[in-house]
């Protein structure tokens, strides 16, 4: 029963996160309808985090 609840909750969080991102994104931004768009967004976020970390640690 816990596994089913965790699966449903995980699905709801994933769909809710995609909906929230799509509804708050600027108009020219592409919606999260395929994995390529998600990958591009994740890569951009990882790059920004890496740059900020390097700036904070002054590498």
The pLDDT tens digits of the residues spanning 1-50 come to 999 999 999 999 998 988 888 788 777 777 767 788 888 888 999 999 99
Q: How far apart are CA 41 and CA 38, in angstroms?
A: 5
Sign of the Cα pseudo-torsion (11, 15, 20, 22, in order): positive
User: What residues make up the domain containing 29?
Assistant: 2-57
Q: What share of the chain is helix, strand, coil (3-state, %, to 5)?
A: 80, 0, 20
CB-CB neighbours of 38 under 10 Å = 13
Domain count across the chain? 1
With a cut of 80, say whether residue 52 has pLDDT above it. yes
Provide the whole-model pTM.
Answer: 0.50
Q: Give CA–CA dist 51/57, Å, rounded.
A: 10
């Amino acid at each position: 029963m816990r596994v089913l609840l965790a699966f449903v909750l995980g699905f709801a969080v994933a769909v809710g996160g995609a909906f929230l991102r799509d509804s708050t994104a600027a108009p020219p931004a592409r919606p999260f309808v395929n994995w390529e768009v998600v990958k591009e967004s994740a890569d951009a976020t990882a790059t920004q985090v890496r740059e900020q970390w390097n700036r904070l640690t002054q590498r």
